[in-house]
Structure 1
């Protein structure tokens, strides 16, 4: 008679404090994709932030120079960007936020800077995340993130930058 033991039991983490407030949800969103080169990301936490039908929507120019949106689920983002984030190092830091809300919904315009390492002094990219969130009475959920990066012809407006 053979005895079998499960040695690799599924560890369940309690992420509830990460989504208790709007601020903690946004802070977690930035923190979970950020890390030094070679540092794995907590993709379970990343997926925990999102409603089941949530979308991540980057906006950028295609090869013909037309602005296009790409629609991804959290798993699609992990597949398309996860390896790159770990291989190159990536930190996204919020530098300004404008929040509007009504009832159980909120919209956050969050200006960010991107770095390859936390030690970098100058960002390699900046942009704005347009984040829609929902509060269900217990926690905040990310419904959608729609973003674009800054370019020479599309600079970030002063209204969405830190006040000097």
Structure 2
């Protein structure tokens, strides 16, 4: 029994060490790669695990994920850490399938500071023709001289009463 525990501990240690050694530098080297990775890492088919280590790597340790929603008939915001998001949304993404794609973007930069206003469509499956939902992500980023960090991800889904303005949709 003692040997089984030691062997198990050894394999877990190697796995965790290997995860720490994964080079994600190309995923955060530019604003484009960081935003593309954000969309890719939360997307996947039903039953498909997400790379939560990569997800957390995108965000600064103090970053917040902030959805706008409705609670008790009042418009509210909820502040989440990356762990909060993984714990609350992660199981739903895997259980239902979720693919989020960017359909239009506006980027503003000033030195090492950037704001991306990114319009998205979400689908349960890549084969779906009609989106499950649409909305806008407001992504604030910071470059520390080595890489881009997501500082905040703030988003709102489109509703029938509050459709996405034409200016934030793709030009046809």
Report the TM range for the smaller structure's normalisation. over 0.9
2:144 corresponds to: 136
Query: What runs of 5+ residues in structure 2 fail to find an aligned partner?
Result: none
Corresponding residue for residue 113 of structure 2 = 105
* Separation in 2, partners of 1:13, 1:34: 20
Which residue is 1:52 aligned to?
A: 61
Where structure 1 has 5 or more consecutive residues not aligned to the other structure, the ranges are none
For the residues of structure 1 that align with 2:30 and 2:115, how far apart are their CA atoms? 14
* Matched ranges for 1:1-164 at <5 A: 6-8=10-12, 9=14, 10=16, 11=18, 12-63=21-72, 65-164=73-172
Distance 2:90 2:127 in 1: 21
Instruction: Supply the RMSD in Å over aligned alpha carbons.
Output: 1.2
Question: In 1, distance between residues paired with 2:126 and 2:33?
Answer: 20
Relative to its length, the structure with more helix (as a share) is 2
- For the residue of structure 2 that corresponds to 1:154, the secondary structure is coil
How far off is 1:53 after superposition?
0.4
Cα drift, residue 158 of structure 1: 0.6
Q: How far 1:157 sits from its partner (Å)? A: 0.5
**Matched residues in 2 for 1:105 and 1:158: separation?**
26
Q: Partners in 2 of 1:62 and 1:82 — Cα distance?
A: 21
Q: What's the TM-score, normalizing by structure 2?
A: 0.91
Aligned residues between the structures: 162
Aligned-partner SS, 1:26:
helix
Cα deviation 1:2-34 (Å, max 9, x = unaligned): 985523302131111100011000000000000
- Distance in 2 of aligned mates of 1:89 and 1:117: 6
Moved over 6 A (4+): none
